[in-house]
């Protein structure tokens, strides 16, 4: 089992689009048995999409995908992946909380049945836990729902590595150490090395670059849906790794410096729930504040905290003024799918549109038309259903809802996801105008380019503010350094 | 022509068409005998179904899992208490109404308290509270069969040119509730919560207050109906609400309101309520016994609901 | 370790404690109940309720609710008191048909994505109507073998207690300990992950509803064995009793968290609570209300415990 050149999985020009958005632009990549591949990249680089294709939960739009030299791109799926010994530990846990650890092992292994299946399942998962995390105290008969997050993660990992009738050949670990402490993380990474030495393959995704550099044999850097670097781990340092993730198109003309004076009225002062030190987020009248960092590191929670803090007094949060939210996840946080475009746009401003007790339909239509012009919603009729619009135009409606309200603080939750470049430019222009007119913006964005529209930027990692940049110090490189744990 | 097409696309058209078809089938069987009388009776009884269904519709529109199963108990309680308070005295009609509405509101407050404070799913909360209130009603009015005030009895059974006055009043109330649904912030918020509660919260809408008000309102409609039914049928009876549990839900769903929430429809309630009553009348006319009548009612309701509201499971 | 054992068994501990408490209270009020005959009188109605509770539990496991169970048990009772005694083959076919209808209802709910309460509420009319068709007025006669079974004089303790024990053990083994049961329960916990592992959700739902039909049938049969005659309205309150039994036994409405042993204990507790309330000379008007109150009380207690746990963690 020495040969590291034995190719296990090979992607050949694999591409994937979601509507107009290109998530993967022809990736070619291979991984061999006995290898640990580190995969890094900033938000939206295409890592997750690629791994979902490998796990069988997404299918590629174009390109070939080979396992052990055999082209499987036509008839691939979760079951096929399982049969070929490809396992995946995603960030969102996929265990059934109402069942015990052993029973959860059973769900992945249909062959565990008959008499004493429970004992065999317990032995299987317990043995694997012993191997990976010696000295753990998880009882296989415990309910998963009663376990801490870290232990669930351990069970999920152990389940992925456990084998019954088919050997495990490749395991994808997506941020496996995110909820493990240092000791457990060390045990896991040591086990990964053992597994690889035994001829298995592992793809490791992590924002902790030292983990990548010490564990992986090879590191692949992705950016904008493509592979930009593919070298042995020894060919990288943390610094060069961060640099290769950054944007090639270097800082274009900065936005014209506005003098958002430090004496302007203080609108928000708030600390993340998990901050733990004295750092607070501060925003003044007319400022555009960026929240940066990797996705899911506490930025959305911060916005929701500010939003709720304005409505109900909370410790550590002072908000003076009204807030409105521009949702980024349109389906789950923003749209009312059964309503017309106009109703979706005016819902935040109904108090101003009533005459007596009743909503004035003419005032409502007027506001709809006004924003259709102002923000350029492309529709023949604002009375059409909201779902008749393209994603970008739906997003404009959500902007209209917030900007059209009387709120003087606008919270934006990565609102440009999946929005075309033309729309973006229009919205950027509008933001600048509104900020100049005295509105305050808190803008969580995963796109580096957008940070240059901000006066100040707070970088989040693991639910805490770890860096604050302002003016000329706002650079993609600096944000990358802060969002990845570069300290060894 | 376009007007016709516009009409055909209304979500309530099916209920009216069904009601009409069943009425025609009934009248054809009796060879035109009593067709008008059937309609008058249908309007009378439909009024009660519609009144409870309005409250139920607002609750169901709040989204999946929201339903009020305490309606029958609330009706019985409100009917029994108000009859006892009025004690057949015309002068007490208005206080009696206020007390019936108060009973309903009390049930609503209690239900929402269970849902919000104890985090009990609405189905179970309203089901278990309904047993408490049913017991309260039984215990309060045991052995007593108090006649309603004559004026109330006359009003609830008053028919002018074949049209029950109560039905006209019910239609006016339906119209008012329709305006509230479409033209007030409260109504908009109810439909917004039903479509996407998280988005409603993030749009700054008062989600909790509106949910509370909706449950209280549903209780008040049940209380009002209990009061009117008692007046109509000569007093409160312990089982008077029983048939309104399925009726309230079926009328809402058949009338074109989405079971999944977020979309409500008031005109459809009348079509659906008429349809249900005429269905029973038709089965009676055809000479079916109680057993077959119940089976067919159940099967037809399930069939209509399956056709009207079925969506493919997503994901 | 002991702390974790207590934590893990807290779900079953609470129902057990409430059962023992109410049993002691009954004995204290009525010492004569502490005998073979007394126990039999106290508990014999617990068996049909326990069967119904287990039936409801199968439905709750897949995050649905069956509001037609009481009417269905009444239908089975009517069939048992008429056809099963006179024309056993027809009777058995009718009962088997009932189980199949349950499976079909499960399929309908899954395929059309309908709320189970609406469909089962409609089904309650169907079952009640069918029961009236089979037996228009209360009466009929239970098959002799059924009566013999239910009045069987077993040694030491009454037959009911053996039957309750067997029921708890069999369902526990089948649903909680078997490999197939683990998957079926997973449907309530995380349907997507079960589906991802290649199991059919439709099949799972049909199986669980069919089991509900099967145990509902046992409930009706045992009920007729005890009462010796049938009545369409005989078991209408079983709908609430069965839901209360599941909840009392530590089950939850969503997430597939259920406990068959707890459910049986919950059914016994409810039966005893009925006797207890009548020993207390509680106004019979308040009997139903008391059951509603018990349900609310248990749920309230559980919220308090859960909050305390959350604070402790």
Predicted local confidence at residue A486, as pLDDT: 58
Q: Which of C110, C128, C292 sits opposite B294 (nearest CB)?
A: C128
Cα distances (angstroms) measured from residue C248 to each of B249, C45, C71: 28, 17, 22
Judged by CB atoms closer than 8 Å, whether chains meet at B188 and A343 is answered as yes
| A neighbours by CB contacts (3+ pairs under 8 Å) | B, C
Predicted local confidence at residue A446, as pLDDT: 77
Alpha carbon distance B142, B100 (integer Å): 18
For residue A26, what pLDDT band results from cuts at 50, 70 and 90? confident
Q: Which of B127, B259, B298 sits opposite C129 (nearest CB)?
A: B298
At a CB cut-off of 8 Å and minimum separation 6, what does A2 contact?
A: A34
Q: Is the pTM of this model over 0.80?
A: no
Predicted local confidence at residue B190, as pLDDT: 93
Judged by CB atoms closer than 8 Å, whether chains meet at A350 and B196 is answered as no
Q: Which of C4, C194, C255 sits opposite A107 (nearest CB)?
A: C194
* Percentage of chain A exceeding pLDDT 90: 3
Least confident of A234-248, A345-359, B286-300, C219-233: A234-248
What is the rounded average pLDDT for all residues in chain A?
81
Number of cross-chain residue pairs from A and C with Cβ atoms under 8 Å apart: 67
For residue A70, what pLDDT band results from cuts at 50, 70 and 90? confident
Judged by CB atoms closer than 8 Å, whether chains meet at C119 and B64 is answered as no
Give A148 to chain C, closest Cα distance, Å. 9
Instruction: Enumerate residues 182 to 201 of chain C having a beta carbon within 8 A of any beta carbon in chain B.
Output: 192
Cα distances (angstroms) measured from residue C49 to each of C59, C67, C243: 16, 15, 10
For residue A251, what pLDDT band results from cuts at 50, 70 and 90? very low
Query: What is the mean pLDDT of the segment spanning A426-443?
Result: 86
C166-179 residue pLDDT tens: 888 888 888 777 77
For residue B9, what pLDDT band results from cuts at 50, 70 and 90? low
Query: What is the mean pLDDT of the segment spanning C15-32?
Result: 84
Least confident of A19-23, A410-414, A468-472: A19-23
Cα distances (angstroms) measured from residue B164 to each of B40, B52, B159, B267: 7, 18, 4, 18
Give A93 to chain C, closest Cα distance, Å. 10
pLDDT top residue among A376 and B312: A376
For residue A310, what pLDDT band results from cuts at 50, 70 and 90? confident
Judged by CB atoms closer than 8 Å, whether chains meet at A146 and C8 is answered as yes
Contact of A107 with C197, CB cutoff 8 Å: yes
DSSP per residue, A275-309: --SS--EEEETT-EEEEESSTTSSHHHHHHHHHHH
If we measure between CA atoms, which residue out of A464, A471, A458, A466 comes closest to residue A482? A466
Predicted local confidence at residue C310, as pLDDT: 62
Q: Which of C129, C131, C240 sits opposite B127 (nearest CB)?
A: C240
Strands A218-223 vs A226-232: parallel, antiparallel or unpaired: antiparallel
Query: What is the mean pLDDT of the segment spanning B214-225?
Result: 95
Judged by CB atoms closer than 8 Å, whether chains meet at B294 and C192 is answered as no
Least confident of A174-178, A245-249, A329-333, C50-54: A245-249
Q: Which of C178, C183, C185 sits opposite A98 (nearest CB)?
A: C185
Predicted local confidence at residue B218, as pLDDT: 95
Instruction: Enumerate residues 258 to 297 of chain B having a beta carbon within 8 A of any beta carbon in chain C.
Output: 259, 289-297
List domains and CATH numbers for chain C: 8-312 (1.10.3470)
- Given a cut of 50, whether residue A176 has pLDDT beyond it is yes
For residue B282, what pLDDT band results from cuts at 50, 70 and 90? confident
Number of cross-chain residue pairs from A and B with Cβ atoms under 8 Å apart: 62
Predicted local confidence at residue B312, as pLDDT: 35
Predicted local confidence at residue B97, as pLDDT: 92
ipTM (interface predicted TM): 0.80
**C235: number of Cβ within 10 Å:** 30
- Given a cut of 90, whether residue B189 has pLDDT beyond it is yes
pLDDT top residue among B193 and C151: B193
- Given a cut of 60, whether residue A95 has pLDDT beyond it is yes
C208-246 residue pLDDT tens: 999 999 999 999 999 998 888 888 888 888 888 898 888
Is B136 in the C-facing interface, judged by CB distances under 8 Å?
yes
For residue A249, what pLDDT band results from cuts at 50, 70 and 90? very low
- Given a cut of 50, whether residue B38 has pLDDT beyond it is yes
Strands A170-174 vs A86-89: parallel, antiparallel or unpaired: parallel
Query: What is the mean pLDDT of the segment spanning A366-377?
Result: 86
pLDDT top residue among A356 and C95: C95
Is C115 in the B-facing interface, judged by CB distances under 8 Å?
yes
How many angstroms separate the first and last alpha carbons of chain B?
40
pLDDT top residue among B42 and A472: B42
Query: What is the mean pLDDT of the segment spanning B150-179?
Result: 88
Judged by CB atoms closer than 8 Å, whether chains meet at A146 and C7 is answered as yes
**Chain A contact probe: residue of B199, B208, B209, B256 with most A CBs at under 10 A:** B199
List residues of chain B with CB under 8 Å from any CB of chain A. Answer: 179, 183-185, 188, 191-192, 195-196, 198-200, 202-205, 258, 262-263
Predicted local confidence at residue A262, as pLDDT: 60
Judged by CB atoms closer than 8 Å, whether chains meet at C190 and A94 is answered as yes
Find the length of chain A: 488
A129-142 residue pLDDT tens: 888 888 888 888 88
Query: What is the mean pLDDT of the segment spanning B305-309?
Result: 72
* Percentage of chain B exceeding pLDDT 70: 93
* DSSP annotation of A100: B
Query: What is the mean pLDDT of the segment spanning C238-259?
Result: 82
Contact of C66 with C255, CB cutoff 8 Å: no
At a CB cut-off of 8 Å and minimum separation 6, what does A104 contact?
A: A95, A96, A125, A144, A155, A159
Give B133 to chain A, closest Cα distance, Å. 34
If we measure between CA atoms, which residue out of A214, A195, A101, A78 comes closest to residue A147? A101
Q: Where are the domains of chain B?
A: 12-22+36-309
* B12-22+36-309, CATH topology level: ABC transporter involved in vitamin B12 uptake, BtuC (1.10.3470)
Query: What is the mean pLDDT of the segment spanning A448-464?
Result: 83
Q: Which of A105-114, A175-184, A248-257, C208-217 has the highest mean pLDDT?
A: C208-217
Predicted local confidence at residue C219, as pLDDT: 93
Alpha carbon distance C195, A57 (integer Å): 12
Give C126 to chain A, closest Cα distance, Å. 34
Contact of B210 with B59, CB cutoff 8 Å: no
Contact of B104 with B219, CB cutoff 8 Å: yes
B87-131 residue pLDDT tens: 878 888 899 899 999 999 999 999 999 998 888 888 888 988 988
Is C241 in the B-facing interface, judged by CB distances under 8 Å?
no
Judged by CB atoms closer than 8 Å, whether chains meet at B128 and C123 is answered as no
Judged by CB atoms closer than 8 Å, whether chains meet at B249 and C121 is answered as yes
CA dihedral (C152, C156, C162, C165) in degrees, to 10, reads 170
pLDDT top residue among A389 and C267: C267
For residue C309, what pLDDT band results from cuts at 50, 70 and 90? low
Give C174 to chain A, closest Cα distance, Å. 12
């Amino acid at each position: 089992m020495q040969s590291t050149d034995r190719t296990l999985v090979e992607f050949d020009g694999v591409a994937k689009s979601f509507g107009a958005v290109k998530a993967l632009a022809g990736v070619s990549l291979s991984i061999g048995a006995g290898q640990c591949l580190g995969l890094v990249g900033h938000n939206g680089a295409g890592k997750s999409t690629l791994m979902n294709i490998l796990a069988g939960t997404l299918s590629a739009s174009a390109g070939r995908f080979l396992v052990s030299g055999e082209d499987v791109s036509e008839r691939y799926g979760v079951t096929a992946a399982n049969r070929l010994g490809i396992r995946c530990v995603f960030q969102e846990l996929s265990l059934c909380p109402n069942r015990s650890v052993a029973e959860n092992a059973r769900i992945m292994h249909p062959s565990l049945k008959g008499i004493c299946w429970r004992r065999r399942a317990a032995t299987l998962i317990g043995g694997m836990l012993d191997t990976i995390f010696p000295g753990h105290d998880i009882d296989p008969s415990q309910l998963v729902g009663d376990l801490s997050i870290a232990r669930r993660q351990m069970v999920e990992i152990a389940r992925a590595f456990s084998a019954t009738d088919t050997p495990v050949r490749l395991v994808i670990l997506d941020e496996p150490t995110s909820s493990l402490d240092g000791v457990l993380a060390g045990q896991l990474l040591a086990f990964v090395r053992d597994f690889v030495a035994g001829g298995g393959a592992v793809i490791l995704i992590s924002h902790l670059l030292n983990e990548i550099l010490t564990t992986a044999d090879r590191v692949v850097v992705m950016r904008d849906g493509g592979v930009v670097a593919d070298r042995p781990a020894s060919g990288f340092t943390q610094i060069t790794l961060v640099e290769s993730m950054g944007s090639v198109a270097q800082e274009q003309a900065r936005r014209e410096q506005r003098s958002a004076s430090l004496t302007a009225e203080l609108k928000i002062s708030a600390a993340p729930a998990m901050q733990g030190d004295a750092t607070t987020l501060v925003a003044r009248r007319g400022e555009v504040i960026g929240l940066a960092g990797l996705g899911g590191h506490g930025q959305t929670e911060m916005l929701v905290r500010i939003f709720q803090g304005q409505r109900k007094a909370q410790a550590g949060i002072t908000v003076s003024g009204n807030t409105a939210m521009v949702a980024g996840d349109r389906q789950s946080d923003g749209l009312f799918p059964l309503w017309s475009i106009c109703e979706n746009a005016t819902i935040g401003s109904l108090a101003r549109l009533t005459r007596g007790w009743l909503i004035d339909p003419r005032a409502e239509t007027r506001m709809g038309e006004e924003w259709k012009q102002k923000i350029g919603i492309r529709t023949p009729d604002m009375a059409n259903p909201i779902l008749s619009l393209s994603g970008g135009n739906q997003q404009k409606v959500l902007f209209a809802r917030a900007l059209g309200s009387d709120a003087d603080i606008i919270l934006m939750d990565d609102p440009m996801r999946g929005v075309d470049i033309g729309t973006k430019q229009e919205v950027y222009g509008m933001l600048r105008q509104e900020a100049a007119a005295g509105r305050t913006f808190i803008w969580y964005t995963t796109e580096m380019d957008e940070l240059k529209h901000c006066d100040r930027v707070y970088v989040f990692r693991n639910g805490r503010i770890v860096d604050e940049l302002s003016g000329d110090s706002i650079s993609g490189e600096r944000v990358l350094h802060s969002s990845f744990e570069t300290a060894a | 022509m376009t007007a016709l097409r516009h009409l055909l696309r209304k979500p309530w058209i099916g209920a009216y068409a069904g009601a009409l078809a069943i009425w025609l089938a009934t009248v054809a069987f009796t060879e035109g005998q009593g067709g008008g009388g059937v309609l008058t009776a249908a309007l009378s009884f439909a009024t009660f179904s519609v009144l409870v269904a309005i409250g139920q519709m607002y609750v169901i529109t709040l989204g999946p899992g929201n339903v009020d199963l305490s309606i029958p108990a609330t009706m019985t309680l409100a009917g029994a208490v108000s009859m006892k308070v009025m004690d057949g005295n015309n002068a007490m009609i208005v206080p009696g109404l206020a007390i019936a509405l108060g009973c309903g509101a009390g049930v609503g407050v209690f239900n929402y308290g269970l849902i919000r404070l104890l985090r009990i799913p609405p189905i179970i909360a309203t089901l278990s509270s309904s047993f408490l209130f049913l017991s309260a009603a039984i215990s309060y009015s045991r052995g007593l069969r108090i006649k309603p005030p004559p004026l109330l009895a006359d009003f609830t059974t008053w028919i002018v040119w074949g049209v029950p006055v109560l039905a006209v009043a019910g239609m006016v109330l339906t119209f008012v509730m329709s305006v509230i649904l479409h033209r007030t912030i409260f109504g908009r918020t109810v439909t917004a919560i039903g479509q996407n509660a998280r988005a409603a919260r993030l749009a700054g809408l008062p989600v909790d207050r509106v949910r509370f008000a909706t449950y209280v309102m549903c209780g008040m409609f049940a209380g009002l109906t209990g009061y009117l039914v008692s007046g109509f049928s000569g007093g409160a009876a312990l089982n008077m609400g029983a048939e309104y549990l399925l009726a309230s839900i079926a009328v809402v769903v058949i009338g074109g309101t989405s079971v999944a929430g977020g979309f409500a429809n008031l005109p459809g309630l009348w079509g659906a309520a008429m349809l249900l009553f005429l269905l029973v009348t038709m089965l009676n006319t055809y000479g079916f016994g109680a057993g077959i009548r119940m089976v067919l009612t159940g099967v037809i309701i399930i069939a209509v609901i399956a056709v009207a509201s079925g969506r493919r499971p997503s994901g | 370790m002991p702390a974790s054992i207590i934590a893990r068994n807290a779900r079953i501990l609470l129902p057990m404690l409430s059962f023992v408490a109410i049993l002691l209270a009954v004995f204290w009020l009525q010492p004569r109940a502490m005998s073979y005959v007394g126990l039999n009188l106290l508990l014999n109605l617990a068996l049909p309720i326990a069967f119904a509770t287990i039936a409801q539990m199968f439905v709750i496991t897949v995050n649905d609710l069956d509001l037609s169970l009481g009417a269905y048990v009444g239908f089975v009772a009517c069939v048992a008191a008429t056809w099963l005694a006179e024309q056993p083959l027809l009777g058995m076919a009718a009962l088997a048909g009932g189980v199949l209808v349950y499976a079909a209802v499960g399929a309908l709910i899954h395929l059309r994505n309908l709320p189970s309460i609406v469909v089962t509420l409609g089904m309650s009319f169907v079952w009640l109507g069918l029961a009236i068709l089979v037996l228009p007025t209360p009466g009929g006669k239970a098959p002799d073998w059924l009566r013999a079974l239910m009045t069987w004089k077993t040694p030491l303790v009454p037959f009911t207690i053996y039957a309750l024990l067997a029921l708890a053990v069999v369902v526990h083994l089948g649903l909680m300990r078997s490999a197939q049961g683990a998957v079926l329960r997973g449907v309530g916990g995380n349907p997507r992950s079960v589906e991802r592992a290649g199991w059919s959700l439709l099949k799972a739902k049909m199986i669980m509803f069919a089991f509900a039909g099967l145990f509902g049938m046992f409930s009706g049969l045992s009920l007729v064995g005890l009462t010796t005659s049938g009545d369409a309205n005989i078991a209408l309150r079983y709908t609430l009793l069965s839901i209360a039994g599941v909840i009392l036994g530590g089950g939850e409405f969503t997430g597939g968290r259920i406990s068959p042993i707890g459910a049986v204990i919950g059914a016994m507790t409810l039966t005893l609570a009925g006797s207890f309330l009548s020993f207390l000379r509680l106004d019979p008007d308040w009997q139903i209300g008391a059951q509603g109150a018990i349900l609310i009380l248990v749920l309230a207690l559980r919220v308090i415990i859960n909050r305390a746990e959350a604070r402790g963690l």
